[in-house]
């Protein structure tokens, strides 16, 4: 049992170290994937388009760096900026969303990349605290299982 807990502890430790070391690569990959999702955004509501809409509605943001990122997409040339960027969906008309100058007043101007990464970083202390607590319980379990093993072994020799 101690060996199994030790193995799990080491796996969690390695995962935490790898996540910390490669955090910049994770950010870069997230940014490139978000850019790709904007380029492939369409009205048919595939998974990626729904994810972009959800992020924009939830975090009150628009685009990757800012709302003007949508101007480089094929979707913008057809329909303008998506309605998920609107501050008030009842106040956003399709004509407003096709004109970047008018859209600036109607949509969220902040980009989603900074908001997502800052939200993740602010929650990392909670995740680290919970992980540390679980690791402590694992270490206590390892120590207690070793003590129990030693106690059982010592008592068997005394019986004989």
Q: By the 8 A CB rule, do 107 and 67 touch?
A: yes
Q: How many CB atoms lie within 10 A of CB 7?
A: 10
Q: What is the pLDDT of residue 148?
A: 86
Kindly report the CATH number assigned to the domain that includes residue 70. 1.10.1450.10
Name the domain count of the chain.
1
Nearest in space to 54 (alpha carbons), one of 37, 70, 69, 71? 37
Prediction pTM value? 0.67
Q: What is the pLDDT of residues 35-59, one digit of tens each?
A: 888 888 886 667 888 888 899 999 9
Domain that holds residue 31: 1-158
Give the chain's residues under pLDDT 70: 43-45, 154-160
């Amino acid at each position: 049992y101690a060996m199994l807990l030790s193995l799990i502890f080491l796996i969690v430790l390695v995962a935490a170290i790898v996540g910390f070391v490669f955090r910049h690569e994770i950010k870069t990959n997230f940014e490139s994937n978000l850019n790709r999702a904007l380029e492939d955004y369409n009205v048919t509501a595939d998974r990626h388009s729904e994810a972009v809409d959800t992020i924009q509605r939830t975090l009150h943001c628009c685009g990757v760096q800012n709302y003007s990122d949508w101007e480089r997409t094929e979707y913008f040339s057809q329909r303008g900026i998506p309605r998920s960027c609107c501050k008030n969906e009842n106040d956003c008309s399709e004509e407003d969303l096709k004109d970047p100058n008018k859209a600036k007043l109607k949509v969220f101007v902040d980009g989603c990349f900074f908001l997502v990464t800052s939200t993740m970083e602010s929650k990392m202390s909670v995740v680290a605290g919970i992980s540390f607590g679980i690791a402590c319980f694992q270490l206590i379990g390892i120590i207690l299982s070793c003590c129990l093993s030693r106690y059982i072994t010592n008592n068997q020799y005394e019986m004989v």
